[in-house]
Chains A and B, each alone.
Chain A
């Protein structure tokens, strides 16, 4: 059984301007010891997906449908009491900005011990020892001295290490990392990613890595979800996503990254601007920016279609290719429509 099973998750924010469907029908599973990457641009719903799992949405946000099962236990509608036991204990999170996610008025030691005392049966002495042990684990020098210091005495990279120590102190089964290295320099980013990778192997936990950086994904993720405008457009193993992308948005993203080969040449950007979530189009949300948009894309959003056992995408182009290559047979006009409507699997 999968450790985390998210099915048809829908999360909306109810604003004065109307309902914003930030997460729209998202499903995925996460197995023990795996690293899942969620990639997307700002506003694609990648962070909201993670916040929905922990139910730490802002006041106007609400899960409006779907189910989230952790270790077989349903979390949607489970109530605050159950969630308190899950957060920090079974599933913990590290945020993007290490500068603002620590309380400046308490020592590092106090903040680390707070999490441990809250979630475990340890007494203060044991909690202190555990906190020191955790700091040592994330390569903070002289942990005993550091325990007495305040966040302002730490650099960005060190603070992010403290955040990781805090998140891992209760040995969670899942660590959600929301852009953990975006605010850091590349050399520090490399240190943190390496640390997360080695801790993940050592402690056997699963990681959900939320990022917009495909380089980070390539380095650490086993599986990848690509999101656009609140929906999953493609999901699969890292190799499948990078070497066999099957959604026009993923292809566009990969093409638009500068590399050694593009020096002195033009990049191939995705045209247009990101979508306004208050005015979602009827069909595929990416259709207005897609160079290959067909009639069907404008009216009907493609459903998830299996490319192979490790890979699924929601793009009509796969059906078109399937028909052209003779992998999908067409008997009559009507049955084609049916097949398209049903989102028949390809290949």
Chain B
């Protein structure tokens, strides 16, 4: 289980994309705007939020798939800065993508897909060693050895996601960013894959950043959960605590909107309605980004972004009025 030693630390991470607005003009789209968190070894941190809140960008920037605009990323007590750092880091940190249909090369066989990271990092000395390692990885994710010579299109969605997971395990990583790994799968298959993530974590001592919009899935798998809104982290707390007593007004309405698969509870459930849509990140509101949809917003909220304060042990919230409204 989780140890109290951070394996990943992110400090004030910013990722701006510049959007052309005229011939020589551009405007920053602040996809991630000053996010800090850490993940302990063996822990699963769930990252939730609506589409466009920057949760996927956090995952990708963390692995340097995008170059961070500013901020620091630390792995195992060492800052990742230079190109050689990044190359080493990518042997320890990998990713599982959302869409099992487009993230596997249709022209490669399963064994080539899983073997590619081994070749890139030169991890196998002989052909035999490579083949053994591929079969071992396929065993981890419940694929048979006869699947090795087949192509991705011959598999169902759930099995493709297993191939993607085997590929991410090839370099023997400590840390995996799982970007919506089960949202493209049917309910009955989803549970199989979630259990597999659990088993692999136990067996290989993995640490996960689990990005998803399905809040029931995130609660099941995560030790701690972070909620993002418009590029900012608004709340971070242990999983049970954030579901039982969310403190930020956005987390409250987000969690109350989850449809519960139980008719009696669903009928009795009082939703905390949010008016309107999420603002465009190109024209994010000043101060607290949630203030335009928040019923507790005051002038102070328009002036300054609230700090990300620890209100109780391990429970962080970014809200000026957190003490008054709870």
Contacts and interface: CB of A to CB of B under 8 A. Distances in A.
B261 interface: yes
Interface in A92-111: none
A186 B158 contact: no
Interface stretch (A49-57, A128-136, A167-175, A269-277): A269-277
Contact of A269 (B156, B189, B243): B189
A214 B240 CA distance: 22
Given A256-B190, A266-B198, A267-B194, A186 B260 contact: no
Contacts of B19: none
Contacts of B219: 258, 260, 263
Interface size class of B (residues with CB under 8 A): 35 or more
Given A257-B216, A258-B220, A42 B271 contact: no
A215 B188 contact: no
Interface in A151-197: 155, 157-158, 185-191, 193-194
B187 A212 contact: yes
A212 B186 contact: yes
Contacts of B198: 266
A25 to B, nearest CB: 22
Most chain A CB neighbours (cut-off 10 Å) among B194, B263, B278: B263
B259 A185 contact: no
A189 B254 CA distance: 11
Contacts of A253: 187-188
B187 A214 contact: yes
A274 B189 contact: yes
Contacts of A212: 186-187
B195 interface: yes
Contacts of A254: 261
B195 A266 contact: yes
Contact of A215 (B254, B259, B277): B259
B213 interface: yes
Contacts of B260: 215, 218-219
B262 interface: yes
A214 to B, nearest CB: 4
Interface of chain B, main secondary structure: helix
B207 to A, nearest CB: 17
B271 A256 contact: no
A337 interface: no
A193 B258 CA distance: 12
Interface in B149-190: 156, 158-159, 186-190
A253 to B, nearest CB: 6
Given A186-B213, A190-B257, A260-B219, A269 B191 contact: yes
Interface string A245-266: 0000000111011111011001
Contacts of A217: 261
A22 B123 CA distance: 47
Nearest to B194: A267
B217 interface: yes
Contacts of B156: 273-274
A291 to B, nearest CB: 13
A262 B273 contact: no
B273 A157 contact: no
Contacts of B216: 215, 257-259
Interface string B263-287: 1111101010110011000000000
Interface of B: 50-51, 156, 158-159, 186-192, 194-195, 198, 213, 215-217, 219-221, 239-240, 243, 253-254, 256-267, 269, 271, 273-274, 277-278
Q: Which 7 A-B pairs have the closest CB atoms?
A: A215-B259, A258-B220, A269-B191, A256-B191, A190-B257, A270-B188, A214-B261
Given A187-B257, A188-B50, A219-B259, 19 more contacts: A155-B278, A185-B50, A186-B257, A187-B274, A189-B257, A190-B257, A190-B273, A191-B273, A213-B259, A215-B258, A218-B259, A219-B266, A219-B267, A257-B187, A257-B191, A258-B216, A259-B216, A267-B195, A273-B159
29 contacts: A155-B277, A186-B50, A187-B254, A194-B273, A212-B186, A212-B187, A215-B216, A215-B261, A218-B260, A218-B263, A218-B265, A219-B267, A219-B269, A242-B263, A243-B263, A257-B191, A257-B261, A258-B216, A258-B220, A259-B216, A259-B261, A267-B191, A267-B194, A267-B220, A269-B188, A273-B156, A273-B159, A274-B156, A274-B186
